[in-house]
Structure 1
Amino acid sequence: MVNLSRTALRGFAGVAAAAFLAGSALPNASAAGTVGTADPVIPALQQPTVAAITLPAEAPPPGTGLTTKSSATNVVQYNRIYKSPPITPSKCREVNVSLRTAAGVQAYASKLWTCLYAAWAVPLKAGGFAYKVKPKLVVHTSSSVATYCGTVANPTGLYCSARGGTIYIPASQIIAQWKQNPTMARAWLSQMVGHEYGHHIQNMTGIMAASYQRRYAFSTNAAKLEESRRLELQASCFSAAYLGADKRYYPMSGGLMTAFNYLVTHMGDQPGHARDHGAPKNHAFWSTMGFNAKHTYTVAGNCNTYRASSAYVA
């Protein structure tokens, strides 16, 4: 999740605050079920809070067999996904549907979810990762949601890595934004689903598990927060990379592109809140890196936040 300025939206990105909270609640670095992140949040809503974290017994995802911080660092910094082929344009067009109802949000999110699955299959397969694992999608209108990673109150967009992964989308927040600004609601939902799917890519490639392991190994809270920011900024970069790959077909242009640019330049950690998602300027930087990768096509290699200096993930 990523936070937006208090005057706009607050809290974008897939594995954001909830992911950090859930991750810090895990008993050890090899635990599989972890809440991902949360996407943009309307100002009046609070940040997600996690309670009663109960992790299921299951086969660990890729990367959880790591035993040292150095090996975890190799996974996050030199992952095969960074050298994978370009993200294939899905040639999916934006669904022409009103987002004033939960059914509309469901239809919009479902189409994008399916398109993301198709587009990411090529780089995942080329990297030798599980490319046929499609995360489940849950669009809800609840004030709290029970996941395999625990119960989350006031959720924004959310990803839970347990059992192949599940993406949770809060229809009520999108509906509320639609009433204020329909174009902004479309941009927000597009970024939100893409961000949470970005966490799924991290899960499938072992980056998420290795990043959690590194977090546990760090001795200071400042280092742990920086690790959280690297994870979240990368998920937003992955989200923008897909939209950039499909920009001619979606299409990302006109008012929708203007709204998207506004969102990614206002997302980020805000005064008085945990610094676990990155400053707005860095969120804008990584989203732009993803969207404009190679200018004509997008590659996951542009989203390697783990080899960036601390200034770029502050």
Structure 2
Amino acid sequence: MHSRVAMSVVTGTVLVLVAGCGLIGGSGKDGGTFKAASTPSVTPSSETPTFSPTPTVSTPSPSTSTTPAEPPVVVANRTVTQNRLYRVGAVPASRCKEPTERATSVAQVRAYYTEFVHCLDRAWAPIVRKAGYTFWAPKVEILVGDQPRSQCSITDSAAYCGGVISLKADFDLKNQRRDNKLWTRATMAFLVGHEYGHHIQRLTGIMDASQTRTNHTNGTDAQLLESRRIELQASCFSGVYLGADRKYFPATGAWLKKWNWMVANRGDEWNPTRSHGNKTNHSRWSRKGFGSGNPAACNTFAASTASVA
């Protein structure tokens, strides 16, 4: 899963260096590279300026005071830890059932994800708007073979970049052929929910704010810690949707058992970059989202370092 902003990240079995492109990856951050605005050049005028012999100087009123602007990192800290999204309540059930398509062909994979994203739109749109943000649906692209992503060059199985959720059909087709069919379905539901979680981060300013925080950190360890916070939150948001819609999906019985096993065995311990969180914490945050159905349960930015290791 992958989302990416100015840094890359990774996701579990699919974890790859993000996260606007988001982890378990458009990084967890938004796709594209964020650049500081360049300083405009000023060309001196060729004309000789004229001055009034008795210039008038206006003196500010003693009662007028200028409040200095808050440093960007202060605003960013508040955006990620006190976001309005955490105060709007539970996500409403989309009342969507699990898509009936199975990963037996590229067309079936495309149909599954297209239907799933429409359901995610239905559930998240009212919550984003209630929090005071503008909602717009992400685009979805299904890739085959070495087909490049339209928004970023990351090669993991799923990613979010520049408002586009990219999913590689090859990954799902292989899982369907070689692995447990129920595990394949649970993994597909998790992946698309995770990348959509990065989209929610973008819509609510969390993604940009996290990038600002990353730009103000010193050292790789601090940057990876920030990456894990945004990636684990995306996994928590994935759980939120399934938890909200569990009765209709339905996320129960054998399906839920397989989903729980899958999120509990998706970690980045094997990856020296440690950008997505270990399997224990990944399971904890995914299950927190599912159990609550509420984005308030996903405030990874206010959590202890140990809980996002």
User: Which TM-score tier does this pair reach, normalised by the shorter chain?
Assistant: 0.7 to 0.9
- Unmatched 5+ residue regions in structure 2? 2-9, 39-68
- Amino acid in the other structure paired with 2:35: N
- In terms of Rg, which structure is larger? 2
Identity of aligned residues (%): 34
How far does residue 205 in structure 1 lie from its aligned partner after superposition?
Answer: 0.1
From 19, 28, 31, the equivalent of 2:35 is 28
Does 2:148 align with 1:145? yes
- Amino acid in the other structure paired with 2:176: W
Q: Which digits, 9 at most, give the CA deviation of each residue in 1:72-117, with x for residues without a partner?
A: 0000000000001310100000122221111111111111100000
Contact (CA 8 Å) 2:11, 2:25: kept in 1 or not?
A: no
Contact (CA 8 Å) 2:143, 2:149: kept in 1 or not?
A: no
What corresponds to 2:59 in structure 1?
none
RMSD value, Cα: 2.4
Shift in alpha-carbon separation, 1:29–1:282, aligned structure 2, 3 A: farther
Alpha-carbon separation, structure 2, partners of 1:216 and 1:142: 34
Does 2:286 align with 1:303? no
From 73, 80, 83, the equivalent of 2:77 is 73
Shift in alpha-carbon separation, 1:124–1:285, aligned structure 2, 3 A: same
How far does residue 66 in structure 1 lie from its aligned partner after superposition?
Answer: 8.7
What corresponds to 1:167 in structure 2?
165
Q: Which digits, 9 at most, give the CA deviation of each residue in 1:20-77, with x for residues without a partner?
A: 598798353689xxxxxxxxxxxxxxxxxxxxxxxxxxxxxxxxx9952111000000
Q: Which digits, 9 at most, give the CA deviation of each residue in 1:250-299, with x for residues without a partner?
A: 00112211111111101111234311001110001101110001xxxx21
Displacement over 2 Å in runs of 4+: 1-4, 9-14, 17-31, 270-273
Q: Which digits, 9 at most, give the CA deviation of each residue in 1:224-270, with x for residues without a partner?
A: 10000000000000000000000000001122111111111011112
How far does residue 151 in structure 1 lie from its aligned partner after superposition?
Answer: 2.4
Shift in alpha-carbon separation, 1:292–1:276, aligned structure 2, 3 A: same
Contact (CA 8 Å) 2:14, 2:157: kept in 1 or not?
A: no
Q: Which digits, 9 at most, give the CA deviation of each residue in 1:99-142, with x for residues without a partner?
A: 111111111111110000010012111111112x0000111113
- Amino acid in the other structure paired with 2:157: T
The SS at the match of 1:159 is strand
- Amino acid in the other structure paired with 2:75: S
- Unmatched 5+ residue regions in structure 1? 32-64
1:1-314 map, 5 Å: 1=1, 3-4=11-12, 9-11=13-15, 15-16=22-23, 18-20=25-27, 26=33, 28=35, 68-131=72-135, 133-148=136-151, 150-152=152-154, 154-160=155-161, 162=162, 165-179=163-177, 180-293=179-292, 298-314=293-309
Alpha-carbon separation, structure 2, partners of 1:171 and 1:66: 45
- Amino acid in the other structure paired with 1:277: H
Contact (CA 8 Å) 2:14, 2:158: kept in 1 or not?
A: no
Shift in alpha-carbon separation, 1:66–1:204, aligned structure 2, 3 A: farther
Q: Which digits, 9 at most, give the CA deviation of each residue in 1:150-170, with x for residues without a partner?
A: 323x3311101x2xx110111
| TM-score (ref. length: structure 1) | 0.79
Alpha-carbon separation, structure 2, partners of 1:209 and 1:155: 22
How far does residue 181 in structure 1 lie from its aligned partner after superposition?
Answer: 1.7
The SS at the match of 2:97 is coil
Contact (CA 8 Å) 1:269, 1:275: kept in 2 or not?
A: yes
Shift in alpha-carbon separation, 1:201–1:157, aligned structure 2, 3 A: same
Contact (CA 8 Å) 1:18, 1:158: kept in 2 or not?
A: yes
Contact (CA 8 Å) 1:20, 1:276: kept in 2 or not?
A: no
The SS at the match of 1:142 is coil
Q: Number of aligned pairs? A: 267
- Amino acid in the other structure paired with 2:305: S
Contact (CA 8 Å) 2:187, 2:262: kept in 1 or not?
A: yes
| TM-score (ref. length: structure 2) | 0.80
- Amino acid in the other structure paired with 2:238: S
Shift in alpha-carbon separation, 1:221–1:85, aligned structure 2, 3 A: same
What corresponds to 1:60 in structure 2?
none
Alpha-carbon separation, structure 2, partners of 1:144 and 1:66: 44
The SS at the match of 2:149 is strand
Contact (CA 8 Å) 2:25, 2:231: kept in 1 or not?
A: no
Shift in alpha-carbon separation, 1:220–1:29, aligned structure 2, 3 A: farther
Shift in alpha-carbon separation, 1:243–1:19, aligned structure 2, 3 A: same
Shift in alpha-carbon separation, 1:246–1:272, aligned structure 2, 3 A: closer
